[in-house]
């Protein structure tokens, strides 16, 4: 049993690794920070392979697939990703292009390449890590919200295609609200919102994945938000999202 996890050097990815290794899975762990991955490898008990790669380079995504395709991988978790707080007309274009590369292109490429192999075997799990941000537009975090909209919509469409051909391959999407990880620090968030515990959130996602649930939303409030969002006028939703994101700027 083997799983590949991108963005395993911290936060959710690190917790996915601990959980799956605890269940007996050998792992391929991907991120840029080798030392972090090595520290994680040292505390895990199954076989761990480290791949130090920058997934913002799409050639690296293809290289990753080529290097591991002969191994039987049972689970792919597309987890690597990051955000950036700020007004769209002020934030860095370079940083946002990197974000699109990691949050969208890497997820797209790895999902496609591994899905083809999984389809041939008619088995395997793909879990794409999106966000509750994917249900909304996100003023002050516009690019991040838009990238996660892409991930959820893409995954949902693939889910339908697999359902129609009665495939045994699972694909699902994890859409949490705020989780206590390094995400906020990377996204230049000054004030943290109330957050879920990363280990608990990762446990929930893995459990729901094995139950073959497509849309995985942890937390009662987030589930309500998802269910009732269509009954709230868009202008009000935008105003609420703006206020929430504004809080993240902290007091100036
Ligand atoms: N925390 C939240 O509030 C929250 C809420 C909803 C969804 N999410 C999603 O959850 C996922 C995991 O984030 P997290 O909260 O665990 O944040 P995190 O602690 O910052 O972890 C992000 C991971 O992504 C990796 N990564 C970033 N850029 C990369 C690149 N260019 N190439 C390879 N790996 C890269 C990082 O590794 P290196 O820096 O070592 O490369 C790190 O392991 C993300 O997709 C995020 O959007 C987070």
CATH number of the domain to which 30 belongs: 3.40.50.720
Residues of the chain with pLDDT under 70: 252
The range of the structural domain enclosing residue 76 comes to 2-247
- Choosing from 65, 125, 144, 150, which is the catalytic residue? 144
pLDDT number for residue 67: 98
Would you give the distance in Å from CA 4 to the centre of its chain?
Answer: 13
User: Is 124 a member of any domain?
Assistant: yes
pLDDT number for residue 193: 86
Q: Which protein residue has the closest C-alpha to ligand 1 atom 1?
A: 179
Instruction: List pocket residues of ligand 1, CB cut-off 6 Å.
Output: 7-13, 31-33, 36, 54-56, 79-82, 102, 129, 131, 176, 178-179, 181-183, 186
DSSP 8-74: TTSHHHHHHHHHHHHTT-EEEEEES-HHHHHHHHHH--S-EEEEE--TTSHHHHHHHHHHHTTS---
Looking at the structure of the chain, the number of domains it has is 1
User: Is 109 a member of any domain?
Assistant: yes
Of 9, 11, 100, 226, which is best to mutate to test ligand 1, by the most ligand atoms within 8 angstroms of its C-beta?
11
Of 181, 215, 222, 247, which is best to mutate to test ligand 1, by the most ligand atoms within 8 angstroms of its C-beta?
181
> Ligand 1 centroid vs 164 CA: distance in angstroms?
32
> Ligand 1 centroid vs 236 CA: distance in angstroms?
29
Range list of β-strands (E), the chain: 2-6, 26-31, 48-52, 75-78, 125-129, 170-174, 215-216
pLDDT number for residue 53: 98
User: Is 252 a member of any domain?
Assistant: no
Backbone φ/ψ region at 219: left (φ over 0), alpha (ψ -120 to 50), beta: left
> Would you say the C-alpha torsion 113, 217, 22, 32 has a positive or negative sign?
positive
User: Is 242 a member of any domain?
Assistant: yes
> Would you say the C-alpha torsion 61, 64, 70, 74 has a positive or negative sign?
negative
pLDDT number for residue 19: 98
User: Is 139 a member of any domain?
Assistant: yes
Give the separation between CA 30 and CA 16, rounded to whole angstroms.
Answer: 12
pLDDT number for residue 192: 84
User: Is 15 a member of any domain?
Assistant: yes
Residue 80 CA, closest ligand 1 atom number: 24
Residue 180 CA, closest ligand 1 atom number: 1
Q: Is residue 145 annotated as a catalytic residue, yes or no?
A: no
Are 248 and 190 within 8 A, CB to CB?
yes
User: Is 169 a member of any domain?
Assistant: yes
Give the separation between CA 102 and CA 150, rounded to whole angstroms.
Answer: 12
Pairing of strands 48-52, 75-78: unpaired
> Ligand 1 centroid vs 180 CA: distance in angstroms?
11
């Amino acid at each position: 049993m083997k799983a590949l996890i991108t963005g395993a050097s911290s936060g959710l990815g690190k917790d996915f690794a601990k959980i799956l290794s605890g269940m007996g899975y050998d792992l391929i762990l991907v991120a840029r920070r080798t030392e972090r991955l090595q520290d994680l490898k040292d505390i895990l008990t199954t076989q761990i392979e480290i791949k130090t790669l920058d997934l913002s380079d799409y050639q690296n995504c293809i290289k990753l697939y080529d290097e591991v395709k002969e191994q039987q991988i049972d689970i792919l978790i597309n987890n690597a990703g990051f955000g950036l707080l700020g007004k769209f007309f002020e934030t860095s274009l370079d940083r946002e292009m990197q974000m699109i590369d990691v949050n969208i292109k890497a997820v797209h490429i790895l999902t496609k390449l591994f899905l083809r192999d999984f389809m041939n075997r008619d088995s395997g799990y793909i879990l794409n890590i999106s966000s509750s941000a994917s249900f909304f537009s996100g003023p002050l975090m516009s690019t991040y919200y838009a990238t996660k909209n892409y991930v959820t919509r893409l995954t949902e469409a693939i889910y339908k295609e697999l359902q129609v051909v009665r495939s045994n391959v699972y694909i699902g999407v994890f859409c949490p609200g705020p989780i206590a990880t390094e995400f906020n620090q990377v996204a230049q968030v000054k004030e943290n919102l109330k957050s879920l515990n990363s280990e608990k959130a990762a446990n929930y996602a893995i459990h729901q994945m094995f139950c073959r649930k497509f849309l995985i939303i942890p937390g009662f409030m987030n589930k309500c938000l998802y269910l009732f969002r269509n009954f709230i006028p868009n202008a009000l939703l935008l105003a609420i999202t703006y206020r929430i994101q504004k809080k993240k700027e902290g007091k100036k």
